[in-house]
Amino acid sequence: MRLLLVEDDPHLGDGLTVGLRQAGLAVDWVKDGLAAEHALKSETFDLLVLDLGLPGLTGMALLKGLRSRGQTLPVLILTARDTVSDKIAGLDGGADDYLVKPVDLDELTARIRALARRAAGRASPLLCHGPLALDPAAHSASLDGQPLELSSREFALLFTLVENAGRVMTRSQLEDSLYGWRDEPESNVLEVHIHHLRRKLGADFIRTLRGVGYTVPKL
């Protein structure tokens, strides 16, 4: 899952970026509202974590612009101002959830998982596909009830493919969901992960559409 973090406090932004990446998310971090608006217009993100007090363009203005363009991605606002009216304004302005600073990283990642689950139309915290079950909170997987060992990249890649089962995912969509803007992956890294996943899941679990991308067929 690829997430855009908008936070102008360098220490908080850095800490959240490191923590959310350790939780297996692809995080892109920008420090002002205008850079965030540019990123949201030119790239695809699965979720936005938005500070309200920002230079350039306030979080509320950014949120209103986003919703007026019809962008539906889930938005979680971060606010230092623990007042009821700020929370109401944020939620009525199009945010889906909020967290008051200081941010607890475990609570933030749990709320992100819940928002992503709802956005994907799932009620269960487990993502299941036939004999495969993926648990994004524990980062664990099982196949036919047996534990399945996956690296964090393999887990993230498989989760994206299964969540989009029946749709063809292009190379760049999959690479973005794994890496965001950082660590430009070597050209064949994606193929290596796919190869390892096929060894673990069976050759037919992930199909290649030559020149287009990869898909997990719908059941």
CB closer to Ca ion, 11 vs 218: 11
Residue from 8, 32, 86, 135 that binds Ca ion (CB under 5 A)?
8
Q: Which long-range contacts (CB under 8 A, 24 or more apart) does 140-145 make?
A: 143/200, 143/201
CB closer to Ca ion, 63 vs 157: 63
- Rounded CA gap, 90 and 108, in Å? 17
Size of the site for Ca ion (CB under 5 A): 3
- Rounded CA gap, 53 and 216, in Å? 41
CB closer to Ca ion, 50 vs 66: 50
Cβ atoms of residues 179 and 185 within 8 Å: yes
By the rule CB under 5 A, 53 interacts with Ca ion: yes
Q: How far is the CB of 53 from Ca ion (least distance, A)?
A: 4
Cβ atoms of residues 136 and 93 within 8 Å: no
Nearest alpha-carbon partner for 127 in 110, 108, 113: 113
Residue from 28, 37, 46, 51 that binds Ca ion (CB under 5 A)?
51
Of 6-14, 39-47, 68-76, 155-163, which part binds Ca ion (CB under 5 A)?
A: 6-14
Using CB under 5 A, list all residues that contact Ca ion: 8, 51, 53
